[in-house]
């Protein structure tokens, strides 16, 4: 691991540009980086193991060679993306709200914060960690495959990092070094690959004055007091969700692909010809072609015969094994297989099916809360409690009836929060609308009372005059 202290030492010895190059190369050489690249392949339904698999046969000398005559269907499943999307959407599908000052904090974090957090969380799950960079007005997402973190050896905190990108191997690589006191931009030289500085260090926040005479002018620069990049871990294990799941997915895909290959390779009908030892290979080929064309064969029944056979690929055993692997994938990941929930199931049955998913989501939620807490501290916003409404299926009719039956003992806000079809963000809007409606109704009632009072006075006046 190339740490923050290693970076400082190398920068003093060989220069910052050289240290940036070493940080990137060290990051790319790590096992976590290679796992993250593999995770991207599985995320795009490109199973690396199945795509690199080739059929092998052995020569008379025992040497393995590729069997070019064998079928090589490569069927990749979509378990990885589906299960990670399920876990991420389950927790963050409805966004995040705050217990005390929801409107104020959400306004400070920006309109796109919920979307950015959801994307940030997904990369944290599949890569093990992602990084949120606060850039004045919003969160920018740095994936593990494009950001080399520099951790402090003493505290384990993220002290600096290098974001890098390159559109092609034959094009220059660009890099940005992020430090606590600003950021610096670099570009690699195509000839020797060495980095050179293309923009000197600048502060993260710049104050600009505009006038008709001078145009825009920078009049001040300052920083946040700490690195404005916050790591978001996918779990307390601090590893990619591909670890462990990969072997199960590979096994499932290999068996399913092998079944497809067997159907292609095994002839549906073959014949055994008895007492045909004198026939040459060409004679047998003509005999086979005649059988396939005319479906008729002549034979001396006393001395020879032709017996047809059919080959059936074993299906039941493989299907049973595939079902077992599928169940194991969902169980180990803590996912919800909707096929296990019967139609019309009660909320008790649904809650039981969600229990493994809730346990994994609790760990994931802790990481999200830690990230948001650090972000609020960075922006010097008041501490608040993040609230998540998990995106789950339920027997909504049963749950709604239960809430309404207890409504007389609860306030309006609690009732709205418990209803399954109302999100947390909608609660405040509904309460505001109900308050406005009540005020309008009060105003209308007051006007009606005043009109009625005037009418009574007029009627009394007419009676006195009459």
Tens-digit pLDDT string for the chain (466 aa):
899 999 999 999 999 999 999 999 999 999 999 999 999 999 999 988 887 766 655 666 667 766 565 556 788 899 999 999 999 999 999 899 998 888 899 999 998 999 999 999 999 999 999 999 998 889 999 999 999 999 999 999 999 999 999 998 889 999 999 999 999 999 998 888 899 999 999 999 876 666 666 666 655 678 898 999 999 999 999 999 999 899 999 999 888 887 766 666 565 566 677 776 677 888 777 777 777 677 676 766 566 677 776 666 677 878 888 889 999 999 999 988 877 776 666 666 677 778 889 999 999 999 999 999 999 999 999 999 999 988 776 556 666 777 788 877 788 888 777 777 777 667 878 888 877 777 776 666 666 676 677 677 777 777 776 6
Secondary element (H or E) of residue 187: strand 182-188
CB half-sphere exposure, 246, CA atoms < 13 A:
20
Separation of alpha carbons 226 and 212, rounded Å: 36
Residues in a beta bridge with 209: 217
List b or e across 162-180, with b for residues whose CB sees 16 or more CB atoms inside 10 angstroms: bbbeeeeeeebbbbbbbbe
Predicted TM-score (pTM) above 0.85: no
Half-sphere exposure of 383 (CA within 13 A, CB side): 4
């Amino acid at each position: 691991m190339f740490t923050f202290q290693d970076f400082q030492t190398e920068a003093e010895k060989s220069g910052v540009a050289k240290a940036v190059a070493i940080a990137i190369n060290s990051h790319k050489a790590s096992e976590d980086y290679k796992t993250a690249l593999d995770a991207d392949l599985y995320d795009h339904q490109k199973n690396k193991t199945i795509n690199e698999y080739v059929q092998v046969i052995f020569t008379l000398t025992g040497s393995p060679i590729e069997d070019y005559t064998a079928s090589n269907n490569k069927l990749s499943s979509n378990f990885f993306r589906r299960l990670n999307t399920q876990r991420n959407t389950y927790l963050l599908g409805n966004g995040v709200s705050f217990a005390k000052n929801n409107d104020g904090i959400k306004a400070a974090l920006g309109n796109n914060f919920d979307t950015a957090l959801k994307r940030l969380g997904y990369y944290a799950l599949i890569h093990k960690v992602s990084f949120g960079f606060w850039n004045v007005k919003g969160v920018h997402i740095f994936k593990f495959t494009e950001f080399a973190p520099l951790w402090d050896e003493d505290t384990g905190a993220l002290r600096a990092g290098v974001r890098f990108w390159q559109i092609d191997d034959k094009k220059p690589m660009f890099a940005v070094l992020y430090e606590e006191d600003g950021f610096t931009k670099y570009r690699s030289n195509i000839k020797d690959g060495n980095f050179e500085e293309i923009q000197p260090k600048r502060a993260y926040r710049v104050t600009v004055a505009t006038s008709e005479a001078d145009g825009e002018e920078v009049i001040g620069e300052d920083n946040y007091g700490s690195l404005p990049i916050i790591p978001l871990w996918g779990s307390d294990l601090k590893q990619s969700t591909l670890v462990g799941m990969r072997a199960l997915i590979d096994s499932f895909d290999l068996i399913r692909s092998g079944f497809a290959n067997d159907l292609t390779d095994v002839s549906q009908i073959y014949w055994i010809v008895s007492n045909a030892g004198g026939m040459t290979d060409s004679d047998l080929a003509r005999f086979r072609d005649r059988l396939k064309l005319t479906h008729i064969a002549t034979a001396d029944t006393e001395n020879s015969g032709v017996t047809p056979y059919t080959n059936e690929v074993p299906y039941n055993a493989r299907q049973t094994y595939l079902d077992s692997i599928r169940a194991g994938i969902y169980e180990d990941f803590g996912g919800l297989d909707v096929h296990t929930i019967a139609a019309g199931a009660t909320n008790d049955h649904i809650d039981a099916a969600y229990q493994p998913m809730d346990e994994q989501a609790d760990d994931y939620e802790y990481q999200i809360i830690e990230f948001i807490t650090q972000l609020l501290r960075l922006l010097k916003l008041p501490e608040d409690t993040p609230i998540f409404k998990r995106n789950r299926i339920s027997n909504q009719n049963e749950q709604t009836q239960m809430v309404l039956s207890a409504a007389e003992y609860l306030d309006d806000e609690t009732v709205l929060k418990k209803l399954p079809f109302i999100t947390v963000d909608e609660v405040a809007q509904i309460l505001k609308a109900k308050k406005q409606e009540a005020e309008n109704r009060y105003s209308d009632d007051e006007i009606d009372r005043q009109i009625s009072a005037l009418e009574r006075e007029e009627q009394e006046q007419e009676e006195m005059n009459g």
